[in-house]
Structure formats: structure tokens, C-alpha cells
Chains A and B, each alone.
Chain A
Amino acid sequence: MNLGSDRLAPRLLLAVACTTMLCLLVIALFIFKEGLPFMVKVGLGDFLLSSDWRPDSGHFGILPMIVSSLWVTFGALLIGAPLGIAGAVFLAEFAPQGLMRVVKPAIELLSGIPSVVYGFIGVMVLAPFIRSAAGGPGLSILAAAIVLGVMILPTVMAIAIDALRSVPQSYREGALALGATKWQSVRMVVLVAARSGLLAGVILGMGRAIGETMAVIMVAGNAVKMPLSALDSARTLTANIALEMGYATGMHRQALFATGIVLFLVIMILNGLAGAALKRGSLKRRARGR
């Protein structure tokens, strides 16, 4: 009986191990099957480069949503990337170990809070503040960028801390031995050695920001038009899908799946870039004899 299960186990486990690839394949297949014929029929130009989105009269241009997604994502990076990397550098290089033990779970908590809660706080606190301080409707690109900037902090920080920690201690010691201050050794040696990993963290944070849906729906305002300033209301790609999925049929529904394809491809490219950056970082270190 034992021999039987011993022969069976590897095969069964191999089959199980292939489920992730299978899932990925089926997901891609069904999203593409639903959206690709639409893209062909409407034409890529009229889909990606037109800013006329009126599904009832057959106009399906998602350019405003693409532009809004980019604005919101870069805004989020502008806030989340420097803040996250600064926090990671402080925790990994300067803070006492005890502080790390307190802060790390706190950061994880930040990533555990549901996105709808972030969105709600954006609506209740941030949007009114922006409305009174800077004008405009409040629910805006700026509000979405701030909320998303906070939401990507855990991703950016976790990967940045890993990258900083994987820099060999001897690098720091070498710099210090040459008379550098701690900050000089961090700035000129550690940050340079860890830059691929830091970049990977930022790219993954970017993926998270582009893909975030519920928080953005709540705070970005969702107006279907080309945004002209950071205080304008805007609708992102993800928001467009989630808002209209409930009632869309026929061509309209296919258009939403086609929007999903655009999103899917962008995320895949970003993940590929992040993976390449991480690999480059570890390869370089190995090549240097570590």
C-alpha cells in the first residue's frame, strides 16, 4: 500500500502543481475569447485612441480611461515610491532591530486593510479636504493618487527591505573602512547595489496601482472625459469595467472584456519587467563572487 501511494504521489502532485499554469491559461483564454473579437471588429484605433465612450450608440473609445489610469498610477508612484523606499532604508539600515519588529507587522496590516475601506476614508476625509483646500470636485485624480500611494506602500517597502538586506554586509564594511559615514555608505554603496530590487518593488507597486479598482471607483469621481488637471474627476480602466459590468450586454460587455485585455497585458508586461529587474540584481551579485 505504501509503495502504491509512493508511486502515485509524484504524479498526483505534478498534476496539482500544474493547476496554476492551467488557471492562468484558462483566465487568459476566456478574457481574450470574449474581448478579442470585439477589438478586431471595432479596430484598435477606434478602441484605444478614440475618446468617445458612448456604449448605447456604439462608440467604444477608451483613451480617456487609459490617460486617467496613467495619471492616477504615476501620481501614486510619486507619493508611494519615495515614501516607501525612504521608510525601507530607514528600517533596514538605520533603525534598531526592535523597531523593525514593531513596524513590519504594522506595514503588513496596511496591506491587509480592505481597499473599500481606503476608498471610504478617501471619500470621507481626503475628498472634502481637497475640495476646500484646492477647489474642484474633491473626488479627483489627486485624491485617487494619494489613496493609491498609501495602498502601494506595503508592496514597495517589503520588496525594498528584502533588496537592501540582500546587499552583502562586506560592502557596507568596505565603505565604512574607507572613511565613509554611515549615510555615505548607504547612499553610494548600498542603494546602488540594491537598485534593481528597489526598481522591482516600484514596478510591482505600479502594477498594484493600475489594477486597483474599488478604492479608485470611490475616490476618483468616475467622469468619462479626458482629465485636464489633477483636480479633475476621472475614470480609470478598472473603474470602467467594474462600474458597467453590472448591466452591460452584447457589444458593450465585450468592450469591457477588451478593456480587461488591455489591463491584463499591461500587468503582464510590468510583472515581466519586475521579474527581470530582480533577476538582474541577483545575477550581478553572483557574478561578483557572491
Chain B
Amino acid sequence: MNSHKLSQWAAVAVLAAATALILAVLAFIVFFVLEKGLPQISLGFLLDRPRNMGKEGGIGPAIVGTLLLSLLAIAVALPLGVGTAIYLSEYTRESRLTKAIRFGTDCLAGIPSIIFGLFGYIFFVTTLRLGWSLIAGALTLAIMILPTLIRTSEEAIRAVPRSWREVSLSLGATRWETVRKVVLPNALPGILTGVMLSFGRSIGETAAVIYTAGSSFRLPRGAFDSVRTLAVHFYILAREGLSTEKAYGTAAVLVIAVLAVNATTYALMNRFIRRRSR
């Protein structure tokens, strides 16, 4: 074996080892959390309200709070995201304006969640007097997930073949009818992928939510009630050392939720790609 072949072997071995290490870390994280957390999970744990600051009881209200907050954020951000994507891909050419919109989207995507938390606190909670509430948290999250929704929706819309639009237009449909009846239905799986990604991000978010939605233990009765999400509940349990067992249980629920969201996203994406290549 000459030295070139040898260095080729060595290089590939090192690169493969790096990849294996990354996968091992991922596997460790998932298995560690599930192994410690799964025994803590029971129907009672999932449905019960936390008692004694979370040392006992379950995480029922936190699950409800997480779902409400995420769904509300998506409900606010989805029309904006899809609308922006339609405008960028169907109604305009590349111009200074589209560049500015894209730049704004990229910047928004890069802002750390603690800055969103600061902003949400000073704007929604204090200036608009919404208080620590479901609505303040959801609006903050909505701004945060907007870039993801715009990007995935635009990709999905651009993937719809140009000829389909031409056929629709040539049949006498207006541009808006074409968007509504041809482009959007065919871009739907791709848009849903973005929704799932945003959902996953909302579930795990802590820094932007803790100072906007608050951390009340109770079930919210309206949009202006404070809620505690799973991630916030977990953070408080772990950080204040209230209960390691309950923390592991909550972490396992979070990881399972993320696994489920990712699996759904992946399935959607595959279906989308298969349909495209047909």
C-alpha cells in the first residue's frame, strides 16, 4: 500500500469516527433521558396537576399550557409566514424590497431567544399591558418561528412546477385563483413541514417564554392567564433542585414529544419529495 492510499484510509477513518461520535452523543442523550425518565411517567403523572411546587403530582397543566401556547403562536405566525412566502415567490421579482425582506427574515432567525424574551417582556407584557400571559408568550413565540415558516413555505411553493401555474393561467384563472387552487394545495405538505418544525421549536423554548408567559401552575382560563410550559416547568424543577425524579419524567416527555414531531416532519417531507419526483 503506498502512502497516498494510506493517508486516504487514515482520513476516512478519522472522518467516520467523528460521525460515529456525533451519533453516539445523540444516542446517549436520548437513551439517558428515556431510561431515567420513562419509569416516572404514568397516566397520573401526565394528567395530574403539580403539587407542593412540583415536588409531587404531575404535569397536566404544563402539557395543556405548552400545547395552547404553541398552537396559538402557530395560528398567529402561519398566515403571516405563508403570505410572505406567496408574495416573495408569486407576486414579485428579485428587487431591493425582496432583498430587504429576506435580510429581515435572516436577522430575525439569528436573534437569540433571550432577546426575544427581553423584547416580549418590555413590549407585550409591559407596554401593551398584557401581563405574564398566554397571549404575550404566544405573540413572542410567533415572531420567533416566523422565519422558519417563511423559509419552508417559500421552498414548498417554489417546488410547485412552473408549468402547472401556466396551465392554470392559460385556462383563464387569475393569478390569485392560481395561487389558491393550484399552488397552495400542492405546496401544503411542505408548508406543514414548516409548521411541525415550528411546533418542535415552540415546545422546547424556555428563555423567550419564561418572562412572557410566566410560570403559573394553574390551568389557564383565558388568553390573559399566565401559563407554565413543560420546558419552563422542567427548568424550574431542575434548577431549583425541587425533584430530580419529576425532572427526569418531564425531560422524557419533552424528548418523546420532540421525537414524535421530528418523525412526523420527516414522514411529511418524504411524502412531499416522492410526490414531486413522480
Contact across chains for B176 and A6 when beta carbons are under 8 A apart: yes
Enumerate chain B residues within 8 angstroms of A90, measured Cβ to Cβ. Answer: 12, 15-16, 18-19
Known: A95-B19, A264-B115. A2 touches B91 (CB 8 A): no
A183-B22 CB under 8 A given contacts A21-B100, A23-B143, A241-B114: no
Q: Mark A101-127, 1 if CB is under 8 A from B, else 0.
A: 001011111101111111111010100
Instruction: From known contacts A112-B261, A210-B112, A218-B239, infer whether A271 and B117 are also in contact, taking CB-CB under 8 Å.
Output: no
B74 CB to closest chain A CB (Å) equals 15
Q: Are B211 and A114 in contact (CB under 8 A)?
A: no
Rounded to whole angstroms, the CA-CA distance of A241 and B207 in the bound complex is 10
Task: Let me know if B150 and A20 touch, CB within 8 A.
Answer: yes
A268 at the interface (CB under 8 A from B): yes
Query: Which of B103, B112, B150 lies at the interface centre, i.e. has the most chain A CB atoms within 10 A of its CB?
Result: B112
Complex interface: stretch among A26-34, A37-45, A128-136, A166-174: A26-34
Tell me if A187 counts as interface (CB < 8 A to partner B). yes
Which one, A24, A105, A110, contacts B108 given CB within 8 A?
A24
Asked if B26 contacts A109 (CB within 8 A), the reply is yes
Chain A nearest CB from B274 CB (Å) reads 13
| Stretch of B53-61, B120-128, B218-226 with 4 or more beta carbons under 8 angstroms from chain A | B120-128
Contact (A214, B235) CB under 8 Å given A12-B83, A14-B91, A271-B107:
yes
Whole-angstrom distance between the Cβ of B100 and the nearest chain A Cβ: 6
Q: Using known A-B contacts A14-B87, A90-B12, determine if residue A27 contacts B121 with beta carbons closer than 8 Å.
A: no
**Central interface residue in A20, A30, A157, A213, by most chain B CB within 10 Å:** A20
Q: Is the CB of A120 within 8 A of B19?
A: no
| Total A-B Cβ pairs within 8 A | 242
Size category of the B interface is: 35 or more
CB contacts (< 8 Å) of B211 on chain A: these are 245-246
The residue that B231 contacts in the complex, of A86, A103, A114, with Cβ under 8 A, is A114
Are A117 and B254 in contact, with the CB atoms below 8 A?
yes
Are A267 and B111 in contact, with the CB atoms below 8 A?
yes
Is B259 touching A83 in the complex (CB atoms < 8 A)? no
Tell me the bound Cα distance from A108 to B265 in angstroms.
Answer: 10
- Separation of A102 and B146 alpha carbons in the complex (Å): 28
Which residues of B lie under 8 Å from residue A9 when comparing CB positions? 91, 175-176, 179
* Contact of A30 with B119 in the complex, beta carbons under 8 Å: yes
Task: Flag whether B80 is at the interface (Cβ < 8 A).
Answer: yes
B239 touches A217 (CB 8 A): yes
Q: Measured between C-beta atoms, what is the minimum distance from B203 to chain A in Å?
A: 7
Q: What residues of chain B lie closer than 8 Å to A119, measured between beta carbons?
A: 238
Interface centre among B22, B103, B207, B255, by most A CB within 10 Å?
B22
Establish whether residues B83 and A17, one from each chain, have CB atoms under 8 Å apart when the complex forms.
Answer: yes
A223 at the interface (CB under 8 A from B): no
Interface residues of B in 178-222 (CB under 8 A from A): 179, 200-201, 203-207, 210-211
Which of B19, B21, B115 meets A103, CB within 8 Å? Answer: B19
Contact in complex: A6, B174 (CB < 8 Å): yes
- Asked if A115 meets B86 with Cβ closer than 8 Å, knowing A87-B22, A182-B8, the reply is no
Majority secondary structure of chain A interface residues (helix, strand, loop or mixed)? helix
Whether A109 and B262, one on each chain, are in contact in the complex, defined by CB atoms closer than 8 angstroms, is yes
Contact assessment for B176 and A5 in the assembled complex, using a CB-CB cutoff below 8 Å:
yes
Task: Known A114-B206, A121-B33; judge A204-B18 contact (CB<8 A).
Answer: no
Chain B residue numbers with a CB within 8 Å of A94 are: 12, 15-16
Cβ-defined contact, B175 with A6, below 8 A: yes
Please determine whether B15 and A86 come into contact, CB atoms closer than 8 angstroms: yes
Which of chain B's residues have a CB closer than 8 A to the CB of A31? 115, 118-119, 122
Does B161 make an interface contact (CB < 8 A)? no
User: Which B-chain residue is minimally distant from A204 (CB atoms)?
Assistant: B110
Which of A52-60, A225-233, A255-263, A281-289 sits within the interface?
A: A255-263
Complex CA distance for A160 and B88, rounded to whole angstroms: 26
Are B87 and A30 neighbours in the complex by a CB distance under 8 Å? no
Check A18 against B101 for contact (C-beta < 8 Å).
Answer: yes
| Residues in A188-239 with C-beta less than 8 Å from chain B | 204, 207-208, 210-214, 217-218, 238
Please measure, in the bound complex, the distance between the C-alpha atom of A288 and the C-alpha atom of B175, giving whole angstroms: 38
Beta-carbon contact of A30 and B19 below 8 Å: no
Does B266 interact with chain A (Cβ within 8 Å)? yes
Q: How far is the CA of A238 from the CA of B118 in the complex (A)?
A: 11
- Tell me which residues across on chain A come within 8 A of B26, comparing CB atoms: 106-107, 109-110
Closest to B207 in A: A213
B166 at interface by CB-CB < 8 Å: no
Q: Could you tell me if A114 and B176 are in contact, using CB atoms closer than 8 angstroms?
A: no
User: How many angstroms from the CA of A267 to the CA of B105 in the assembled complex?
Assistant: 14
Contact among B21, B104, B127 with A83 in the assembled complex (CB-CB below 8 Å): B21
Check if A114 sits within 8 Å of B15, measured CB to CB: no
Question: Smallest CB-CB separation from B247: which chain A residue?
Answer: A120
- Asked whether A20 lies within 8 Å of B238 as measured between CB atoms, the reply is no
Q: Which residues of B sit under 8 angstroms from A117, Cβ to Cβ?
A: 29, 33, 204, 234, 251, 254-255
Q: Please determine whether B101 and A20 come into contact, CB atoms closer than 8 angstroms.
A: yes
- Tell me, yes or no, whether B11 is within 8 Å of chain A by CB: yes
A137 close to chain B: CB less than 8 A? no
User: When chains A and B are docked, how far (Å) is the Cα of A276 from the Cα of B116?
Assistant: 25
Please name 8 pairs of A and B residues whose Cβ atoms are closer than 8 Å in the assembled complex, sorted by A: A31-B119, A90-B15, A103-B19, A108-B265, A117-B234, A121-B33, A217-B239, A267-B112
